[in-house]
Structure 1
Amino acid sequence: MISGEITATQQSSLEISMSPAQGDSKCFDDDGRLKRTGTFWTASAHMITAVIGSGVLSLAWATAQLGWLAAPSFFLSFALVTYYTSCLLASCYRSGDPVTGRRNYTYMDAVQTYLGDFKVKICGAIQYLNLFGMAIGYTIAASISMAAVRRSNCFHDSHAKDPCHFSNNIYMLAFGAINIFFSQIPHFHQISWLSIVAAVMSFTYSLIGLALGISKVAETGEFKGSLTGISIGTVTQTQKIWRSFQALGAIAFACSYSLVLIEIEDTIKSPPSESKIMKKATGLSVSVTTVLYMMIGCFGYAAFGDLAPKNLLTGFGFYNPFWLVNIANIAIVVHLVGAYQVSCQPLFSYVEKHAATKFPQSTFINKEYNLKAYKLNLFRLVWRILFVMSTTIIPMVMPFFENIAGILGAIGFWPLTVYFPVEMYIVQAKIPKWSSRWISLQMLSVACLIISIVAAVGSFAGVVTDLKAYKPFQTNN
């Protein structure tokens, strides 16, 4: 039953007209918004959810392409770069004073504040295109894991005599239906519980993959692999180059979560300052994920050598114990539901805020109905359903979209993870041009630009290969 209604415009007016006394109350923050309740632990959970995707299970394959010498070095290098640039970005949450300065609620707000209108348009296009691509990638990955559970049971029941090929389309539809429901959670700060569940799930399947890798090494009694990775002969020289480029990109992007960092920081309560808590949470999440990444990548490579599958759990590097593999794949699906929401909430928020600003008199866009514990907004309801439908239909039509998403990720890595954080920090910290620190920051930016270009080339080569065997709606495993 509808008990009341309030428009977004009226809500903004209430925030603007709020007195300092109200802003300092137990219910409201200094900017007039509802009190933020996020902590070091919820911020860490959000970041781990955003960072550890099912792509972690492809790191054994990435390690196999680069070898024992290069792969661990890149793991550590990208972890350090991600930690450093994330700390720079965290410092840009408030303009001016880190405790009392004006808040930047989103990544784009920060770019607008420090770098101006032109760069914020470029940033917005790259950020939201990447978030859209990530949502599609999550849909593909979740459907593969769902199908893998059925395939695992089929292998077990037939004693590996049945090839067990199934279409992923029905599972994409199921994942889409789940996200239609969860996408109606109105705001980022209301999904902390989902992020915590997703973070637990990410550790679950990652540790299972690690344990299976260790057990296989113990079973065979040997560490497979070589210093330089997969050998020429197993693949051609050209394939070796493209695969190395793709592997480099996979490791670089596995560490990145800058797209949602400011939005996560905006959920943290203060004092102490949000940036101080965010930097600690960043240190924890990067340390935990890097150790996990290296162990999974290295033990997976040690177990399978040059034959390491692209996914340890769905590529059927392991068949037994089948029930444990099933638990891991179910955990992947649960985690990807949370990752989908963490990644899409900034995009949802931007579209809804932009629509409310452009059409302030529209009741369809601005009116909210209080349905007991839930505020219903018709525009939010319709637009989010359409968004989830699009991220479900596109991978069904274009089964190779994962490599396209890789290109989007390659294009987005340098500007979003390195360039914009570095440039914003230079402005905020007033670092003189051509000073030693300015030159060091620019050298870091150029090095990461080269990595992005190399990874994009590798992903593009993968798309070209996929196009040769392209069949719409064919996503069989």
Structure 2
Amino acid sequence: MDIDQTPETETLENCPSMKLDDDGGVKRTGTLVTASAHIITAVIGSGVLSLAWAIAQLGWVAGVAFLLMFSFITYTTSTLLADSYRSTYQPIKGNGNCTYMDVVKSRLGGRKAQLCGLAQYGNLIGITIGYTITASISMVAVLRSNCFHKHGHLVKCSISYYPCMIIFAVIQIILSQIQNFHELSWLSIAAAVMSFSYSSIGIGLSMAQVIGGGHARTSLTGVTIGVDVSSSEKIWKCFQAIGDIAFAYAYSTDTVMSPPPEKKVMKKTLLIGLSTATTIYALCGCIGYAAFGNKAPGNFLTGFGFYEPFWLIDFAYVCITIHLICAYQHFAQPIFGYVEKRCSQKWPENNFIKTEHGINVPVCGTWNINLFRLVWRTAYVIVTAVIAMIFPFFNEFLGLIGAISFYPLTVYFPIEMHIKQPKIPKYSFKWIWLQILSWACLFVSLAAAAGSIQGLIKEVKTYKPFKINMFTT
């Protein structure tokens, strides 16, 4: 389900000729291809880089089990969410809901919709911060790899990631001026291509390392107590690893046009997107763990070093950077649209908010600039970049976002709406197993959040902002 993307004034007042759907919103033009690309873009992100580390903490048995479990749960609850798009079970005639919050409000009431919005937008903000961190790490990796290649492997090559975060923020400020989320399909397709590229490189290098005779120590239970970690560290890192896997599966699905019935097409895109993501996750996580064993780094691409083939490592990090540049907008545009919509509703006569200024851009034609949109979106990008500079902790941050967002958005609300819509009898067999699934996921999310918070506290205590080595394991 899309969440609020653009202000209603932009849709109806500034674009009177824009086609509307049966629910009064902007005409949905999504297809099986574009919706699948959005899902792949949203799912296969920076989370894939930490899966080898996550499986190393959990071991072959629990690591693979959690990977498959989260995939199954995400697909199951996402199909329940797709069924909830229309207000009735009629495939096309039922009233549509433009946003996730609209669906929750129509099924569970206004209070639950507010909680949904809080979780949803909080998750999106966290992801944009996380992507800023990951993109800067990838940029620095390219610079460091070239430094080693040029000056030799004994050179320290210490490079600050702050300039890279600033460069990333400047790019996002420019891209953020794109008014409509539905104009970003090309970004999602480009990001999906980049996802496949750097994932394939990581898988290929891991396979080469395994085939080449690397004797990495692995085990059914993961890192060994007394050898790799203490007993308390084992527990906390296992919780954090679960959060990393949950983050890898956190996303919101896109909407598609009708006819055909949206939910049928949406279920196909879910199957395509999640099966593709799970296959890539399993390959990256399992082969990465086989290559590095219990010493798997937090970002498995850094485990190959920065030496040779340096050009291939560079290309992988460039792909990651391009993917995150595109994916940042996928998650930031809904936040932009929500704030702009609310402001336009509260101050409908304010010229600063509603006035569009046409500027002629060579080749591109006329480009509409709104001062409020320019100031607000620029400020948001700057704030996320500053927070990323303050807390540049890759694994811990991903784990915390995944732990906080996975349960309410991926599990709780879809299950509660599915129970409410057909009025499933309380204490019936279906009601019981849905509640068991919900409570089990809540417990797992709380444990993962605890592990990630403990990891963040530990990192903050030892953090040296100007001397930190972003590539240590």
TM-score normalized by the length of structure 2? 0.91
How many Å separate the matches in 2 of 1:469 and 1:29?
A: 54
Query: Using a 3 Å threshold, how does the CA distance of structure 1 residues 402 and 248 change in structure 2: closer, same or farther?
Result: closer
Query: Using a 3 Å threshold, how does the CA distance of structure 1 residues 90 and 374 change in structure 2: closer, same or farther?
Result: farther
The one-character-per-residue Cα deviations of 1:128-160 (angstroms, maximum 9, x if unpaired) are 111111111000000000000011111222331
The one-character-per-residue Cα deviations of 1:50-77 (angstroms, maximum 9, x if unpaired) are 1111221111111111111111111111
Aligned to 2:313: 325
Q: State the Cα distance separating 1:187 from its structure 2 match.
A: 1.4
Q: State the Cα distance separating 1:254 from its structure 2 match.
A: 0.7
How many Å separate the matches in 2 of 1:108 and 1:10?
A: 20
Q: State the Cα distance separating 1:367 from its structure 2 match.
A: 2.5
Q: Does 2:272 correspond to 1:279?
A: no
Aligned to 2:4: none
How many Å separate the matches in 2 of 1:292 and 1:401?
A: 20
Instruction: Classify the secondary structure of the residue corresponding to 2:356.
Output: strand
Contact 1:165-1:476 within 8 A present in 2 as well:
yes
Matched positions, count: 457
Contact 2:244-2:398 within 8 A present in 1 as well:
no
The one-character-per-residue Cα deviations of 1:417-475 (angstroms, maximum 9, x if unpaired) are 10011111212222222211111111110010011011001101101111212345665
Quick check: 29-38 or 147-156, which moved more? 29-38
How many Å separate the matches in 2 of 1:474 and 1:375?
A: 44
Q: Does 2:422 correspond to 1:429?
A: yes
Instruction: Classify the secondary structure of the residue corresponding to 1:160.
Output: coil
Aligned to 2:77: 85
Contact 1:89-1:425 within 8 A present in 2 as well:
yes
How many Å separate the matches in 1 of 2:377 and 2:315?
A: 30
Among 332, 343, 347, which residue is 1:355 paired with?
A: 343
Among 218, 235, 244, which residue is 1:250 paired with?
A: 244
Quick check: 37-46 or 122-131, which moved more? 122-131
Instruction: Classify the secondary structure of the residue corresponding to 2:302.
Output: coil
Among 351, 356, 363, which residue is 1:368 paired with?
A: 356
The one-character-per-residue Cα deviations of 1:227-247 (angstroms, maximum 9, x if unpaired) are 111111211111111111111
Instruction: Classify the secondary structure of the residue corresponding to 1:48.
Output: helix
Query: Using a 3 Å threshold, how does the CA distance of structure 1 residues 180 and 306 change in structure 2: closer, same or farther?
Result: same
Query: Which letter maps to 2:259?
Result: P
How many Å separate the matches in 1 of 2:65 and 2:307?
A: 31
Query: Using a 3 Å threshold, how does the CA distance of structure 1 residues 31 and 369 change in structure 2: closer, same or farther?
Result: farther
RMSD: 2.2
Query: Using a 3 Å threshold, how does the CA distance of structure 1 residues 317 and 57 change in structure 2: closer, same or farther?
Result: farther
Aligned to 2:3: none
Aligned to 1:71: 63
Contact 2:181-2:333 within 8 A present in 1 as well:
yes
How many Å separate the matches in 1 of 2:153 and 2:13?
A: 65
Among 173, 180, 194, which residue is 1:180 paired with?
A: 173
Q: State the Cα distance separating 1:288 from its structure 2 match.
A: 0.7
Quick check: 72-81 or 216-225, which moved more? 216-225
Quick check: 170-179 or 111-120, which moved more? 111-120
Contact 1:8-1:366 within 8 A present in 2 as well:
no
Contact 1:95-1:101 within 8 A present in 2 as well:
yes
Aligned to 1:419: 412
How many Å separate the matches in 2 of 1:460 and 1:31?
A: 42
Contact 2:132-2:384 within 8 A present in 1 as well:
yes
How many Å separate the matches in 1 of 2:36 and 2:328?
A: 17
Aligned to 1:3: none
Instruction: Classify the secondary structure of the residue corresponding to 1:94.
Output: coil
Q: 1:21-32 maps to which residues of 2 (within 5 A)?
A: 27-32=19-24
Query: Using a 3 Å threshold, how does the CA distance of structure 1 residues 338 and 11 change in structure 2: closer, same or farther?
Result: closer
Q: State the Cα distance separating 1:36 from its structure 2 match.
A: 2.4
Query: Using a 3 Å threshold, how does the CA distance of structure 1 residues 473 and 340 change in structure 2: closer, same or farther?
Result: farther
How many Å separate the matches in 1 of 2:369 and 2:8?
A: 12
The one-character-per-residue Cα deviations of 1:77-126 (angstroms, maximum 9, x if unpaired) are 11000000011111122212331222221211211111111111111112
Contact 1:168-1:475 within 8 A present in 2 as well:
no
Query: Using a 3 Å threshold, how does the CA distance of structure 1 residues 406 and 228 change in structure 2: closer, same or farther?
Result: closer
Q: 1:9-88 maps to which residues of 2 (within 5 A)?
A: 9=9, 12=12, 27-88=19-80
Q: 1:151-300 maps to which residues of 2 (within 5 A)?
A: 151-220=144-213, 224-232=217-225, 233-257=227-251, 260-261=252-253, 264-265=254-255, 268-300=256-288
Query: Using a 3 Å threshold, how does the CA distance of structure 1 residues 151 and 316 change in structure 2: closer, same or farther?
Result: farther
Contact 1:399-1:475 within 8 A present in 2 as well:
no
* Percent of aligned positions that are identical: 53
Query: Which letter maps to 1:228?
Result: T
How many Å separate the matches in 1 of 2:46 and 2:215?
A: 27
Query: Using a 3 Å threshold, how does the CA distance of structure 1 residues 51 and 348 change in structure 2: closer, same or farther?
Result: same
Query: Which letter maps to 1:354?
Result: R
Contact 1:210-1:300 within 8 A present in 2 as well:
yes
Q: Does 2:308 correspond to 1:310?
A: no
Instruction: Classify the secondary structure of the residue corresponding to 2:257.
Output: coil
Query: Which letter maps to 1:310?
Result: G
Quick check: 30-39 or 184-193, which moved more? 30-39
Q: State the Cα distance separating 1:312 from its structure 2 match.
A: 1.7
Q: State the Cα distance separating 1:35 from its structure 2 match.
A: 3.4
Q: State the Cα distance separating 1:314 from its structure 2 match.
A: 3.4
Query: Which letter maps to 1:81?
Result: I
TM-score normalized by the length of structure 1? 0.91
Query: Which letter maps to 2:249?
Result: C
The one-character-per-residue Cα deviations of 1:211-255 (angstroms, maximum 9, x if unpaired) are 000000010165641111111121111111111111111112211
Instruction: Classify the secondary structure of the residue corresponding to 1:429.
Output: coil
Q: State the Cα distance separating 1:286 from its structure 2 match.
A: 0.7
Contact 2:415-2:434 within 8 A present in 1 as well:
yes
Query: Using a 3 Å threshold, how does the CA distance of structure 1 residues 402 and 365 change in structure 2: closer, same or farther?
Result: farther
Q: Which runs of 5+ in 2 are unaligned?
A: 1-6, 360-364
How many Å separate the matches in 2 of 1:408 and 1:59?
A: 15
How many Å separate the matches in 2 of 1:288 and 1:352?
A: 35
How many Å separate the matches in 1 of 2:397 and 2:247?
A: 14
